Structure 1
Amino acid sequence: MKKILFIKMSVLIAIMAITLGGCKKVFEVLPEDKLDINNAYKNVADADAAVIGIYGKFQNLAKQYVLLNEVRADLLDVTNNADPYLKQLNTHSVTGDNPYADPRPFYEVILNCNDVLKNFNIMNEKHLMSVDDYQKRYSDILTLRCFLYLQLGIQYGSVPYVTDALSSVDDLKNESLFPKLNLDALLDKLIADMKQMPYISSYSYPTGSSLSITTDGSNTQRMFINKYYMLGELQLWKGNYLEAAKNYKNVMETEATNTNTNSMFNTFHVNYNDGTYGNGVSYTDGGTNYGGLHSESALSYSITYGFKSMFCLSNTAANWNHEWIWAMPYNPGFNPTNPFIELFANTGAGKYMLKPAQTAIDAWASNPQGNGIPYDARGKLSYTTVNGQPVVMKYIYNYDPLVPLTRNGMWYLWRGAGLHLHYAEAANRDGKGKLAWALLNTGIANTFADATLASSTNTAAYLASMITPYEEPYRFNAQYIASNTAYRGPYHKNAGVRGRSGVVAINTSYQTDMTGLESKLIDEGSLELAFEGNRWADLVRVARRRNDPSFLAERVYQKLLKDGNSEASTVRAKLMNIENWYLPFKWK
């Protein structure tokens, strides 16, 4: 396997622009700009080049990541244009030669991570960069490696765990040297790895970094993996719910000390639309998500404000940054090209191989809004009908079929709504069902405020009721007095995931129904996060936790059944055996 090549400081900014545009592989830089391994790892500029090189390799996994996590689940279906290997994913009949099931691409990035981590340690020992620079870069690459291993564990069940800087992926074929770990053992290893990390905040906090810049119209801040979120994911999978909640809460508090109140109040807080900021469903005929009847024709399709805008805006826009925790942008001028155009579009360069499953369409259709409209408008903003065919739009809103070679877009990984759903999943399992219900439904203030005190002169008691009655990490301040800015808690605009989109809240009885509420949280993921690469993992995690294969099998069965797939019953029977959830682990 090729080692990562390194870039001189004179071309680093250009490579940053390339990476932001499409993460062009570092090996594709002209030969005269390459440093051989003996001249690399000399200073922080070389370290930055190594980090960018890793993320350039990582972005090549986007297509495989989305396919494995969505086609295997219940929201995304294949079309008649799909190749045989995609159809295998859809019916859980994957053969050893299926390229989408090949673990090699993941391990190529992992071994690059191992090489970089080894050399960062050497640089630190030789004092070739500051301790602060070393800690930030080392921790980032270690966290990305943990993400890759978690994905391998989810998809394959048992995988080799290697931290050595091997020269080739082929070295891993010797299972006597690199025995496989099952998912539980792997989680233990990954949690231990992250707990010994020297740095856990983002690059730009608190003092900034040479890797956090704006260039070529994009900002790098959300390009790098969020370490708190990753540790939260590992703890959630392991069943350490309090620890998971602590880490997720740290992500929610990313801008807690920002003196810019727009950032402090809005970033990762899943807020209602306030007229200036907001990523919820909105209408153009007045009113809010909560009040007044709206005309269906007034649904806002704005690309600058509201739900759709999350998938259209530049990553320098405030609304975009308030929601997205991790996303990788594509630039049409550089490799790798955006793989999602080919998969989803049915015009221009699209091959239309994937479409929204009927189960997803039906779920939106049967989820009424509080304004009297009988369906969930997030569906209309996630897919549309083009040339008589249902088309997933989240990845292709910025694609113009009249300019088929211009394939800009994003690989979306983590965002605020998913953060709140996973935090709520942990809180619910940790006995905080009312808080979990609030974050899923109508928000903190609407759930906890004592309405009997609203018209009372006892303002202090009313304000106190807007602070959740728990210790951290379950304490949220949603205080609000319109006439007094001193009484505006950081979560006073929190609307809940369903509330932000204006759909009807589920019954409050779920506040004391742990498994029922957990199922509702997973259902909400299908409505809010459809097609974004989360679904298979969510189904597997909850089915494993409950030791209930039917939780997963029934959902996949319903997808295939509604599509008229003759293998629906066979697939359901197969997925009732947990061993059949996992892909065959075979080297190409």
Structure 2
Amino acid sequence: MDFNKKVIALLAVALLATGSWSCKKIIDEAPLDKLDITNAYRNVADADAAVIGIYGQFLGLQKTYILQNELRADLVDVTANADPYLKQLANHTTTKDNPYVDPRPYYQVVLNCNDALKNFKLMVDDRRMSVDDYNKHYSDIGALRSWIYLQLGIQYGSIPYITEPVEKVDDIKNLSAYPRISFEELLTRLIDFTEKLPYKEVYAYPAGNPLVVTIDGSSTNKLFICKPFVLGDLYLWNNNYTKAAENYEKIMDVENNNTNINISFNAYKVGYYLSSDYTDQSVRYLRAQDESTLLVDAGWRTIFSAPNTSNVWNIEFLWGIPYNANYKPGNPMIEVCSSLYGKYLIKPSQLAIDNWNAQRQYSGIPYDARGKLSYSTTVAGPVITKLTDNIVPATNFNRAGKWGIYRAALLHLRFSEAANRDGKGKLGWALLNTGIANTFYVGTYVNGAKSPVSFDEINTMQTPYAAPYYFDARSNNDYKSPWYRNTGIRSRAGITALDISLQNNVLGLEGKLIDEGALELAFEGNRWPDLLRIARRQNNPAFLAERVYQKLLKDGDPNASAAREKLMTPANWYLPFDWK
């Protein structure tokens, strides 16, 4: 390992250990008169250090991100241990003094991003950094800033959009005076900026780059933001469905030509189980129809419990950041979720549990086992385990974990949302339910299984659409296409398919895609954005308000009706933006 790699390795240890190392904490630790960073960007190793430092600070946003996006929605509620401010967040009575709605943590990272982006430009202009290094570093941090701003828009609606470094203390104090722009204008500006980034590949840094290392059993490979996913999300929020699908499809097909067929056929494909750790992501039982033999140390749960160096984790996740088990502060969700090693502040809502119980498995088991693999029932009450599953062994001192942000199932649901709105409802239905080959195949079935007898039949195992909606799932004894293992999200979970009439029902399928997010993505931080995006698009406040109402009603919150009435007014969808 050369000197630069050693330096970055040490910095990565700091990031993975503490989750809080920062290249410059602008707001909290400003010098008396001027922010002097002239010695911080001398060479590419310093640029690497700045990137790692920003991600270290970004990791500190997980708790805020999860609480805002889950408690405000319908799948998570507070326990009796929660403080009044968390209760406000859950039942939409939030006041300006609520610490969980403070926008400053987001802007702390944004300001460090602005500082880095300016200095990367100076470095390439002064030839302290190559054009190639500049393209990668600038695009990585630029996309991260766009992601943060999207979250700010989702939470607060109208916000200040600050893209220049803050160099004077007086400017920091006056950030609250910056003009605010609407969410709609923010989306336009973010799309324009992110599209112009010079490097927009799926992976931020190729193998061999000093930033891609494995330390103490954790890899930095998926630590860095997936830029096409950010663009896809921005376009989806802006109702540009073809452009959203183009960016999502780029990710879905990124490994198609990998010489390792286990990767090319499985990475981001939501495939079926093949007795291989590459595909060990299906809900499975040791004995079919025997509920007591549900596998909890294998199958679907390993998506979250496996280390981020494992095949299972890497073919599902596009972006996720690990915490080191041996250092403070560690995974913040342990304190929030655990009844044994934390304060047990939040829990699955009864509505979330009812959602899983309303499903039916192909085997006849009358519930969705993803629920049992996402939370556990304890003496204290139902406990969210999905966010703390990789604490092995579980002790008071083990604060391990991962913040998993982008993964394949989320990708498929968002792509399906775009495809459905773009007139490709059958494709959206396929990815949601039984997979591409099973949905588009026209031919002979033997004992319920495909039995192609001609290439005409084989050729129907592909979508009849042009890019970005073309997927090849053809398969016989002589030929395997990249998507032949795709099985669909519900099929991977062992859950029966939804009615095929939804293939031609845009609003109906859109609703079912969001419902599936409640089953597959619960507690991961996507729920409030999903509800908000559809309510905005359909101009239908009840889409959001009714779900929140049902959560509060089933959990016995006396504010249930008031919350529904409040959320029927779109202006009340956003948190108060108060710069303390």
Shorter-chain TM-score bucket reads: over 0.9
Task: Kindly state the Cα deviation for residue 23 of structure 1 after the two structures are TM-superposed.
Answer: 2.7
Q: Which residue of 1 aligns with 2:133?
A: 133
Whether the 8 Å CA contact 1:107–1:169 is kept in 2: the answer is no
Whether the 8 Å CA contact 1:384–1:392 is kept in 2: the answer is yes
Q: Find the partner of 2:460 among 449, 452, 465.
A: 465
Query: What is the rounded CA distance, in whole Å, between the counterparts of 1:168 and 1:378 in structure 2?
Result: 51
Q: Find the partner of 2:340 among 316, 337, 347.
A: 347
Task: Kindly state the Cα deviation for residue 254 of structure 1 after the two structures are TM-superposed.
Answer: 2.1
Whether the 8 Å CA contact 1:347–1:401 is kept in 2: the answer is no
Q: Which residue of 1 aligns with 2:111?
A: 111
Task: Kindly state the Cα deviation for residue 14 of structure 1 after the two structures are TM-superposed.
Answer: 1.1
Task: Kindly state the Cα deviation for residue 184 of structure 1 after the two structures are TM-superposed.
Answer: 0.7
Q: Which residue of 2 aligns with 1:334?
A: 327
Structure 1 residues 169 and 223 mapped into 2: Cα distance closer, same or farther (>3 Å)? Answer: farther
2:16 pairs with 1:20: yes
Query: What is the rounded CA distance, in whole Å, between the counterparts of 1:203 and 1:236 in structure 2?
Result: 21
Structure 1 residues 398 and 499 mapped into 2: Cα distance closer, same or farther (>3 Å)? Answer: same
SS in 1 for 2:383: strand
Query: What is the rounded CA distance, in whole Å, between the counterparts of 1:267 and 1:258 in structure 2?
Result: 10
2:309 pairs with 1:316: yes
Structure 1 residues 132 and 400 mapped into 2: Cα distance closer, same or farther (>3 Å)? Answer: closer
2:392 pairs with 1:392: no
Equivalences for residues 246-265 of structure 1 within 5 A: 246-265=246-265
Query: What is the rounded CA distance, in whole Å, between the counterparts of 2:195 and 2:213 in structure 1?
Result: 28
Whether the 8 Å CA contact 1:242–1:426 is kept in 2: the answer is yes
Whether the 8 Å CA contact 1:85–1:98 is kept in 2: the answer is yes
What is the percent sequence identity of the aligned residues? 52
More deviation in 90-99 or 201-210?
A: 201-210
Q: Find the partner of 2:409 among 387, 409, 417.
A: 417
Structure 1 residues 28 and 123 mapped into 2: Cα distance closer, same or farther (>3 Å)? Answer: closer
Q: Which residue of 2 aligns with 1:576?
A: 568
Deviation string, structure 1 residues 247-268 (Cα, Å, up to 9, x no partner): 0001111212211111111111
Whether the 8 Å CA contact 1:200–1:228 is kept in 2: the answer is yes
Query: What is the rounded CA distance, in whole Å, between the counterparts of 1:88 and 1:197 in structure 2?
Result: 39
SS in 2 for 1:77: strand
TM-score, normalised to structure 1, is: 0.92
RMSD: 2.1
Q: Which residue of 2 aligns with 1:407?
A: 399
SS in 1 for 2:265: helix
Deviation string, structure 1 residues 380-400 (Cα, Å, up to 9, x no partner): 000111225110001122336
Structure 1: runs of 5+ lacking an equivalent: 1-6, 30-35, 286-292
Structure 1 residues 211 and 378 mapped into 2: Cα distance closer, same or farther (>3 Å)? Answer: same
Equivalences for residues 111-510 of structure 1 within 5 A: 111-167=111-167, 171=171, 174=174, 178-203=178-203, 208-276=208-276, 277-285=279-287, 293-302=288-297, 305-348=298-341, 350-399=342-391, 403-452=395-444, 459-481=454-476, 483-484=477-478, 487-510=479-502
Structure 1 residues 509 and 203 mapped into 2: Cα distance closer, same or farther (>3 Å)? Answer: closer
Structure 1 residues 80 and 57 mapped into 2: Cα distance closer, same or farther (>3 Å)? Answer: same
Query: What is the rounded CA distance, in whole Å, between the counterparts of 2:169 and 2:255 in structure 1?
Result: 40
Query: What is the rounded CA distance, in whole Å, between the counterparts of 2:80 and 2:98 in structure 1?
Result: 18
Query: What is the rounded CA distance, in whole Å, between the counterparts of 1:456 and 1:421 in structure 2?
Result: 29
SS in 1 for 2:90: helix
Q: Counterpart amino acid of 1:306?
A: G
More deviation in 500-509 or 37-46?
A: 37-46
Structure 1 residues 380 and 106 mapped into 2: Cα distance closer, same or farther (>3 Å)? Answer: same
Whether the 8 Å CA contact 2:272–2:485 is kept in 1: the answer is yes
2:531 pairs with 1:534: no
Whether the 8 Å CA contact 1:22–1:329 is kept in 2: the answer is no
Q: Which residue of 1 aligns with 2:29?
A: none
SS in 1 for 2:404: strand
Structure 1 residues 164 and 123 mapped into 2: Cα distance closer, same or farther (>3 Å)? Answer: same
Query: What is the rounded CA distance, in whole Å, between the counterparts of 1:574 and 1:584 in structure 2?
Result: 14
Whether the 8 Å CA contact 2:327–2:399 is kept in 1: the answer is no
Task: Kindly state the Cα deviation for residue 27 of structure 1 after the two structures are TM-superposed.
Answer: 5.8
Query: What is the rounded CA distance, in whole Å, between the counterparts of 1:422 and 1:457 in structure 2?
Result: 31
Whether the 8 Å CA contact 1:341–1:399 is kept in 2: the answer is no
Aligned length: 564
Query: What is the rounded CA distance, in whole Å, between the counterparts of 2:508 and 2:238 in structure 1?
Result: 20
Query: What is the rounded CA distance, in whole Å, between the counterparts of 1:334 and 1:355 in structure 2?
Result: 26
Query: What is the rounded CA distance, in whole Å, between the counterparts of 1:457 and 1:280 in structure 2?
Result: 25
Whether the 8 Å CA contact 1:449–1:462 is kept in 2: the answer is yes
Q: Counterpart amino acid of 2:300?
A: F
Structure 2: runs of 5+ lacking an equivalent: 26-35
Task: Kindly state the Cα deviation for residue 279 of structure 1 after the two structures are TM-superposed.
Answer: 1.0
Whether the 8 Å CA contact 2:204–2:224 is kept in 1: the answer is no
More deviation in 541-550 or 450-459?
A: 450-459
Query: What is the rounded CA distance, in whole Å, between the counterparts of 2:130 and 2:6 in structure 1?
Result: 20
Structure 1 residues 9 and 306 mapped into 2: Cα distance closer, same or farther (>3 Å)? Answer: closer
More deviation in 566-575 or 216-225?
A: 216-225
Structure 1 residues 437 and 147 mapped into 2: Cα distance closer, same or farther (>3 Å)? Answer: same
Query: What is the rounded CA distance, in whole Å, between the counterparts of 1:176 and 1:294 in structure 2?
Result: 59
Task: Kindly state the Cα deviation for residue 210 of structure 1 after the two structures are TM-superposed.
Answer: 1.6
Q: Counterpart amino acid of 2:505?
A: D
Task: Kindly state the Cα deviation for residue 16 of structure 1 after the two structures are TM-superposed.
Answer: 1.2
Structure 1 residues 242 and 70 mapped into 2: Cα distance closer, same or farther (>3 Å)? Answer: same
Structure 1 residues 108 and 204 mapped into 2: Cα distance closer, same or farther (>3 Å)? Answer: closer
Whether the 8 Å CA contact 2:444–2:452 is kept in 1: the answer is no
Q: Counterpart amino acid of 1:363?
A: N
Structure 1 residues 316 and 175 mapped into 2: Cα distance closer, same or farther (>3 Å)? Answer: closer
Whether the 8 Å CA contact 1:24–1:335 is kept in 2: the answer is no
Structure 1 residues 402 and 156 mapped into 2: Cα distance closer, same or farther (>3 Å)? Answer: closer
Whether the 8 Å CA contact 1:429–1:514 is kept in 2: the answer is yes
Task: Kindly state the Cα deviation for residue 274 of structure 1 after the two structures are TM-superposed.
Answer: 1.1
Structure 1 residues 169 and 428 mapped into 2: Cα distance closer, same or farther (>3 Å)? Answer: farther
Structure 1 residues 400 and 261 mapped into 2: Cα distance closer, same or farther (>3 Å)? Answer: closer
Whether the 8 Å CA contact 1:157–1:183 is kept in 2: the answer is yes
Task: Kindly state the Cα deviation for residue 278 of structure 1 after the two structures are TM-superposed.
Answer: 2.7
Q: Which residue of 2 aligns with 1:81?
A: 81
SS in 2 for 1:140: helix
SS in 2 for 1:258: coil
Task: Kindly state the Cα deviation for residue 21 of structure 1 after the two structures are TM-superposed.
Answer: 3.5
Query: What is the rounded CA distance, in whole Å, between the counterparts of 2:285 and 2:74 in structure 1?
Result: 30
